Amino acid sequence: MTQTVSPATIRPFEPGDLGALLSLNNAAVPAVNELGAEEMLDLIGQSLLCLVALAEDTPVGMLLCFGEGADYASPNYRWLSDRYERFAYTDRIFVDDTQRGKKIGDALYSTLFDHMRGTGRCFTCEVNERPPNPGSLRFHTGLGFEEIGRADNGATSVIYMRRDPEPAR
């Protein structure tokens, strides 16, 4: 499953991507939490799907998605697991700052939606409300996600969002 969407190619994670993705992930804090290499590999290993965006053969973005039944201690994942039997949860999506505005996030999600088409899985995510992330909220709303709840986790608060499953063709 490789999809070319100008200006990026979207494909599944490969081990050689780790260094670049770890740097991009940690540059995106506080929109995502900081990770070490082992933590990132553990998350990818448990994921339903990990998509990587490439520009000129260099990783410039990632979407990490979990399905139901993962052994993942995230309070956001648990909140969604308590409410949905079958879902595709976007734990994190990020794009290199130098690639913003090129629709790479759209391409990552488009590939995810196509891959999950006909599975009956709804799409879920959370967006930080504190610290605020209005760009992510606009982005996800534009993709058809709707608010389904909120949680205050002390230092952070989030808005939970959901999009209906993609029907089979």
Q: For 133-152, what is each residue's pLDDT tens digit?
A: 999 999 999 999 999 999 99
Domains recognised in the chain with CATH numbers: 3-163 (3.40.630.30)
Q: Which two tokens stand for residue 166?
A: 């993609």
pLDDT in tens, 93-139: 999 999 989 999 999 999 999 999 999 999 999 999 998 999 999 99
∠ CA 150-148-123, nearest 5°, is 115
> Please, how many CA atoms are within 13 Å of residue 144, restricted to the half-sphere of its CB?
10
Q: Tell me, what's the pLDDT at 149?
A: 97
E strand segments, 68-111:
87-95
The pTM for the full model equals 0.93
Measure the CA–CA gap between 48 and 65, rounded to whole angstroms: 6
